[in-house]
A and B are shown apart, each in its own frame.
Chain A
Amino acid sequence: MTDHPTPDALEQFILGQLSTAETREIAFHLLNGCPHCQQATSTLWEPADSFEDPTILDVICQEEDEASADGYDAVLDRVFDKVAATEAAFAAQRFQAGALLAELVQVPAERQHLLVTNSQRFRSRALCDLLVEESHETGFQDPRRAVELASLALLLVDRLTAADCGGEDVHESLRARVWAQLGNAHRIHSNLNEAEEALAVAQELLAAGGVSLFDRARVLALLASLRRAQEQFAEALRLFDRVAGIYKKLGQWNLMGRTLLQKSLVCGEAGDIEAEMSLLRRALDLIDPQNDPRLFLAARHNLIHALNESGRSREAFALLFHSRPLYLKMGDRMNLLKLRWVEGLVAAGLHRHDQAEAAFREVREAYAGLGLDYDAALASLDLAGIYVAQGRTADLLRVTEETVAVFQSRSTHREALAAVLALCGAARQEEAGAGLVRQVSEFLKRARNNPNLQFSANP
């Protein structure tokens, strides 16, 4: 080839838009080492190389960008008009989906399946979204219902087409989210095998590549929670890092803060309390207390807890003092109970045993009154710790026997009962020390959502 390719041809070459014959012609022209054309192609190529490092982009001249950006107006205006119309339609669909969900939850499970399977009315992407959200919200309050809702969402998503969802990628993203939520609901319901199977399907969908970045983060976060429940802490930490990386990329600082909070829980369970506190501090910097006061308070609460656990009870006390208005602002019963409980823990850390005992008694009775026996048992163990510290063996035996009786009457899972029985046995022999109380308490916290854990007391 003696003539140079045109600038347009070179650009199309770089974009891979030419036929094989045309590509060959330009490739061999470049192979000849034509300095003129190599200069042109390297200019076209170079910016894309710097894309992997977005900071390099910031040094590119802003005026140059703006001058060359005018060609986009027509396209953006056209898309915005189209999307505004879709937005209105979607809002209407979502409103209808709310009514469909209300209708669905009023009928028995078999009828629900029939409606979702056979009725055209229920074939709605917005309904599928709502089922996933509802399953997530229901989570810990009613794990069985959360599984049922996610199963309905799965039934529905398999009947939706790409056209129903607004595209193949959107359908794949929704499908991945449904499978991940089903896995999450199973995890909360303590069916770890079923959780693993469902999340394995979600992972396959991620690997196929059609799932959006945001949904990828949401799926990976649920997978990380499963790994945490399975006590695969290293893998859970790695996954939370990936999730945090995606949220960082998407500028979702609040969600990144939430992810760091979740990651801190893994560190805490793995026994790395310094890492836990460091992550909680970073999370608190990212979470917006105005937009998400509950999440902010949860991070503060955990930090107070971690400071106290690590022996820095004075710091915990100071942070608790500054955080009290946040608990009171929330004002709900559960947050006020959390406040009272952590007040007891910090008082115990400061050896103010009378204050701690009063707080733990109050918390225990409040949880028992609400029928939350597991929480009442955990408060009882904190009370037991005070009795051990004060050498009150009779009170210790009484509180452990009461806890055993509650667990037996409520058919609490076997290993939790075994742990409390071990403590009760030691109390009878007057051999229960602070170490055993702590071990049982830690075990009950870990076993709460994982009844497959086995208790063994370490000497």
Chain B
Amino acid sequence: MSALDQPQVEASLEILLRDVQPRLKVLFARYRIPPQDTEDIVQQALLALIYQRQAIRDPVAWMMGTIRNKCLLYWREQRRKLYDAVDAAVLEFMAEPTAPDQEEADLRRDLTHAIEQLPERCRSLLSLRYSQGYEAPELAERMGYSPSSINKITTRCLAALTRHLVASGILCEENRS
């Protein structure tokens, strides 16, 4: 690129940004990304666009596709945090040494009931994890999974439990239909 090309590139970037702004707003709204969390997503995508401008043929489509993918990754990451948080909360609760009062006994029963609603594989895994205190390597050995895959399977089961907690309304609707 010669120095003479520079203003043209800047102008085209400005046009591109102006063109893409309304569509980005709609995209973020659709994906329900909180405004404060969009800054990193947009910045990373735009910098990648600048660095790879030569290789990219349709910058607007590229931007929209890249940001859509980043929105998915954003939610995957948020969900992972939520699963971890729910898991930590349940583990902490189950590990409490004191004799449970009525309220805690009810909670334990509700938790057991929630786990019973999950697929068989998740029922076994979460029961061993929460009732028996099994760690990942022991779970892998006991359930016949490889040590490398047990974390993935545990995450899927935590996802199923969390989904049951937060979206049981949806599940009931789905089951009814």
* CB closest chain-B residue, reference A287: B57
Interface residues of B in 1-25 (CB under 8 A from A): 1-3, 5-6, 9-10, 13-14, 17, 21-22, 24-25
A interface residue numbers (CB < 8 A to B): 13-18, 20-21, 23-24, 27-28, 30-33, 35, 38-39, 41-42, 44-49, 51-52, 54, 57, 60, 62, 65-66, 68-76, 78-80, 82-84, 86-88, 90-92, 94-95, 98, 125, 129, 133, 166-167, 169-170, 173, 212-215, 218, 249-255, 288, 291-292
Interface residues of B in 54-104 (CB under 8 A from A): 54-58, 60-62, 64-66, 68-69, 71-72, 75, 78-86, 88-90, 92-93
* CB closest chain-B residue, reference A1: B103
- Residue in B1, B31, B42, B82 whose beta carbon sits within 8 Å of that of A94 in the complex: B1
Contact across chains for A212 and B48 when beta carbons are under 8 A apart:
yes
The 3 A-B pairs of least Cβ separation, nearest first, read: A251-B61, A16-B81, A24-B89
A-B residue pair count with CB separations less than 8 angstroms: 223
Contact across chains for B86 and A167 when beta carbons are under 8 A apart:
no
Contact across chains for B56 and A252 when beta carbons are under 8 A apart:
yes
CB distance from A400 to the nearest CB of B (A): 44
CB neighbours of B69 from chain A (8 A): 213, 249-250
Contact across chains for A38 and B17 when beta carbons are under 8 A apart:
no
- Residue in A91, A94, A166, A253 whose beta carbon sits within 8 Å of that of B10 in the complex: A91
A76 to B16, CA, bound (A): 13
Q: Pick 15 A–B contacts, CB within 8 A, sort by A.
A: A13-B82, A28-B110, A30-B168, A31-B114, A38-B169, A41-B165, A45-B170, A46-B170, A70-B25, A72-B25, A76-B38, A91-B9, A92-B6, A214-B55, A251-B64
B interface residue numbers (CB < 8 A to A): 1-3, 5-6, 9-10, 13-14, 17, 21-22, 24-26, 28-32, 34-36, 38-39, 42-44, 46-48, 50-52, 54-58, 60-62, 64-66, 68-69, 71-72, 75, 78-86, 88-90, 92-93, 106-107, 110-111, 114, 163, 165-170
Contact across chains for A214 and B52 when beta carbons are under 8 A apart:
yes
CB neighbours of B64 from chain A (8 A): 251
* CB closest chain-B residue, reference A54: B68
CB neighbours of A72 from chain B (8 A): 24-25, 28-29, 35, 38
- Residue in A21, A38, A62, A79 whose beta carbon sits within 8 Å of that of B168 in the complex: A38
Contact across chains for A39 and B75 when beta carbons are under 8 A apart:
no
Chain A facing B: main interface SS: helix
- Residue in B38, B50, B84, B85 whose beta carbon sits within 8 Å of that of A86 in the complex: B50
Contact across chains for B166 and A47 when beta carbons are under 8 A apart:
no
Contact across chains for B25 and A66 when beta carbons are under 8 A apart:
yes
Contact across chains for B44 and A87 when beta carbons are under 8 A apart:
no
Contact across chains for B35 and A51 when beta carbons are under 8 A apart:
no
A70 to B83, CA, bound (A): 31
A289 to B151, CA, bound (A): 48
CB distance from B15 to the nearest CB of A (A): 12
CB distance from B34 to the nearest CB of A (A): 7
Q: With A86-B47, A251-B65 known to touch, is A57 a contact of B88 (CB < 8 Å)?
A: no
A52 to B106, CA, bound (A): 36
A13 to B165, CA, bound (A): 12
Contact across chains for A214 and B50 when beta carbons are under 8 A apart:
no
A86 to B42, CA, bound (A): 14
Q: Give the most central of B39, B92, B114: most A CB within 10 Å.
A: B39
Contact across chains for A20 and B39 when beta carbons are under 8 A apart:
no
CB distance from A128 to the nearest CB of B (A): 11
- Contacts A33-B168, A83-B46, A167-B44 supplied; 9 other A-B pairs, CB < 8 Å: A16-B80, A16-B81, A30-B166, A38-B169, A48-B75, A71-B35, A75-B38, A125-B51, A254-B57
A72 to B17, CA, bound (A): 14
Q: Give the most central of A44, A79, A173, A255: most B CB within 10 Å.
A: A79
- Residue in B42, B66, B85 whose beta carbon sits within 8 Å of that of A16 in the complex: B85
A385 to B165, CA, bound (A): 73
CB distance from A4 to the nearest CB of B (A): 14
Q: With A23-B85, A95-B3, A212-B48 known to touch, is A69 a contact of B29 (CB < 8 Å)?
A: yes
A167 to B26, CA, bound (A): 27
Q: Give the most central of B34, B47, B106: most A CB within 10 Å.
A: B47
Contact across chains for A42 and B1 when beta carbons are under 8 A apart:
no
Contact across chains for A15 and B29 when beta carbons are under 8 A apart:
no
* CB closest chain-B residue, reference A258: B57
Contact across chains for B26 and A69 when beta carbons are under 8 A apart:
yes
Contact across chains for B85 and A250 when beta carbons are under 8 A apart:
no
Q: With A75-B36, A78-B39, A253-B58 known to touch, is A47 a contact of B85 (CB < 8 Å)?
A: no
Q: With A80-B17, A252-B61 known to touch, is A75 a contact of B85 (CB < 8 Å)?
A: no
CB neighbours of A75 from chain B (8 A): 35-36, 38-39, 42
CB distance from B59 to the nearest CB of A (A): 10
Contact across chains for A170 and B51 when beta carbons are under 8 A apart:
yes
CB distance from A9 to the nearest CB of B (A): 13
CB distance from A288 to the nearest CB of B (A): 8
Contact across chains for B50 and A252 when beta carbons are under 8 A apart:
no
CB neighbours of B58 from chain A (8 A): 251-254
A41 to B82, CA, bound (A): 13
Contact across chains for A27 and B35 when beta carbons are under 8 A apart:
no
CB neighbours of B31 from chain A (8 A): 47-48, 51
Contact across chains for B39 and A48 when beta carbons are under 8 A apart:
no
Contact across chains for B81 and A251 when beta carbons are under 8 A apart:
no
Q: With A252-B56, A254-B58 known to touch, is A41 a contact of B166 (CB < 8 Å)?
A: yes
Q: With A84-B10, A249-B69, A291-B57 known to touch, is A15 a contact of B81 (CB < 8 Å)?
A: yes
CB neighbours of B39 from chain A (8 A): 75, 78-79
Contact across chains for A42 and B169 when beta carbons are under 8 A apart:
yes
